Amino acid sequence: MKKWIIAAVVILAIVGAGAYVAYERLDIIVKVALEYFGPGVTGTEVRVGDVEISPRSGRGRLRNLEIGNPQGFSAARAARFNDVILEVDAATLRSPIVHVNAIGIDAPTILYERGGKTTNLDVIARSVEAYAKRTEEDAGKWSAGVTPKRKYIIDRLLIRGAKVTMTSPALRGQGVTFDLGDIELRDIGKRQGGVTASQVASIVANALVAKIAQRVLSNVDLLRKGGVEGAMDALKGLLR
């Protein structure tokens, strides 16, 4: 009996230590989750340089988050987010619905590449949408004994200082680079009572693609004046 009691105490101590590490080192968990599950969402490689998240304050930071390019495209990556700042209501970190006060993405670099009849960002957006749709379908199949995926409500998401480089075979290896302008999204998931992480990614991806298309259409004259050989033909291809 004494041996069983000792064994039980040891097991409880290990579980307690594991729970403590899981709570205190959310940064490690987030980094591993992004790099492990991210490719299933985006259809590309996902890398994260550094993650810092405080479970007490709810503040966090991601550095050097890279989204790879889909197969069939030449560039090394589709996007790089040098600095992502998070402000989360710490009291909701372990809740079914996490309340995110703000997400700030500063000076990301995005490569908009045409390949065949589509673009790399369109391919990524479709992959994210497909994953989000599967998540919604799975939600309808959850039984009482299955824990649903955590959802999020984001008060404000701001992308600022983004630079976009467009390229295609018509540009012969050259690129047209321009400032994207700020993108601000508010009350993400509020109406739905929360959305999954993949649904947030889908919303952001679609907002980026729409903003790029809008920016290109409003700067055709500027690009023509730039004298980049093949730029106009490339833009027509990118926007088809």
* Residuewise pLDDT in 10s, the chain (240 residues): 443 333 333 333 333 333 333 344 566 777 778 888 888 888 889 998 888 888 888 888 889 999 999 988 888 888 999 999 999 998 988 889 999 999 999 999 998 888 777 888 889 888 888 887 887 666 655 544 555 678 999 999 999 999 988 877 566 546 778 888 899 999 999 999 999 888 888 888 889 888 888 887 776 654 554 444 444 544 555 455
pLDDT attached to residue 155:
96
Domain borders along the chain are 2-239
Rounded-to-integer distance, Cα 164 and Cα 171, Å: 15
165 has which bridge partners? 111, 177
Q: Residue 173 to residues 53, 74, 123, 134: CA-CA distances in angstroms?
A: 39, 10, 21, 37
Handedness of CA 199, 58, 101, 27 (dihedral sign): negative
117 residue type, one letter:
K
DSSP string across 120-160: HHHHHHHHHHHHHHHHHHHHTT--TTSPPPPEEEEEEEEEE
